[in-house]
């Protein structure tokens, strides 16, 4: 049985949660997030928490129960605090710059890489650290992964773009001749 689904989801102060048919609508100010459940789980909204329950006792209903509880929790955390990922650029001449809604990266190629920043994502650059933040956990992680994929870190000198908490296992170079 799902251990994730059993836990009620706490509603942070300042966030309004309501049920519209099979949609759960979470609202904070003018920001609104919708979770469509398609009738796969039962939803009970209380004063300070939301409880989700299975529709029946099938294995699939149990899977949906935990999944929708986790998605709803991520929506409420995103509206309350937001999500953030940080990337570090290592390499001589490697740098990043934000111009309007474009992230300009110079990563050792003959040309700069211009990445259009998606709606709902905020990117800040401090020296060699890129901070990606937003209210959608999946979107923040995807944008960070795309930026990292432009020049993944290499194992010999550690040059490239890596997450700040990522550990690059270094390899020894060629052995010196005899």
pLDDT, tens digit (0-9, with 9 covering 90-100), for 46-79: 989 999 999 988 888 888 999 999 999 999 999 9
Query: Is residue 132's pLDDT more than 90?
Result: yes
Q: Is residue 37 scored above 90 in pLDDT?
A: no
CB half-sphere exposure, 107, CA atoms < 13 A = 22
For domain 9-80, the CATH superfamily is Ribosomal protein L6 (3.90.930.12)
Task: Using the predicted structure, report yes or no on whether residue 178 has a pLDDT greater than 60.
Answer: no
Question: For residue 27, what are the contacts with CB-CB under 8 A and spacing of at least 6?
Answer: 15, 16, 17, 18, 33
Q: What is the average per-residue pLDDT within 135-142? A: 96
For the CA atoms of 132, 136, 137, 139, the dihedral, rounded to the nearest 10 degrees, stands at: -70
Q: How confident is the model at residue 4 (pLDDT cuts 50, 70, 90)?
A: confident
Q: How many Å separate Cα 128 from the centre of its chain? A: 21
Q: 96-113: per-residue pLDDT in tens?
A: 999 999 999 999 999 999
Work out the angle between the directed axes of helices 59-80 and 137-149 (0-180°, nearest 10): 80
**pTM for this prediction:** 0.88
* C-alpha closest to that of 37 among 2, 72, 88: 72
Rounded CA-CA distance 51/38 in Å is 16
The C-alpha atoms of residue 100 and residue 126 are separated, in whole angstroms, by 16
**Percent of the chain having pLDDT more than 90?**
77
Domain segments of the chain as ranges: 9-80, 83-163
Element (H, E) at 71: helix 59-80
pLDDT digits (tens, 9 = 90+) for 160-176: 999 999 999 999 888 76
Same topology between domain 9-80 and domain 83-163: yes
Q: Contact, 91 vs 134, CB < 8 A? A: no
Give the residue from 133, 21, 8, 139 showing the smallest Cα distance to 73.
8
CATH architecture of 83-163: Alpha-Beta Complex (3.90)
């Amino acid at each position: 049985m799902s251990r994730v689904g059993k836990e009620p989801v706490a509603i942070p102060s300042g966030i309004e949660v309501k049920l519209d048919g099979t949609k759960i609508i979470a609202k904070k100010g003018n920001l609104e997030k919708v979770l469509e459940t398609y009738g796969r789980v039962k939803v009970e909204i209380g004063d300070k928490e939301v409880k989700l329950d299975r529709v029946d006792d099938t294995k699939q209903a149990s899977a949906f129960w935990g999944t929708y509880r986790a998605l709803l929790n991520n929506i409420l955390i995103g509206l309350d605090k937001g999500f953030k990922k940080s990337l570090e650029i290592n390499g001589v001449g490697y740098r990043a710059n934000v111009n309007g809604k474009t992230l300009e990266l110079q990563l050792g190629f003959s040309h700069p890489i211009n990445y259009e920043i998606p709606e709902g994502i905020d990117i800040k650059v401090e020296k060699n650290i890129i901070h990606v933040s937003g209210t959608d956990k999946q979107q923040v992680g995807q944008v960070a992964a795309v930026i990292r994929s432009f020049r993944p870190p290499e194992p010999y000198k550690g040059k490239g773009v890596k997450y700040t908490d990522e550990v690059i296992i270094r390899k020894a170079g060629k052995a010196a001749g005899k």
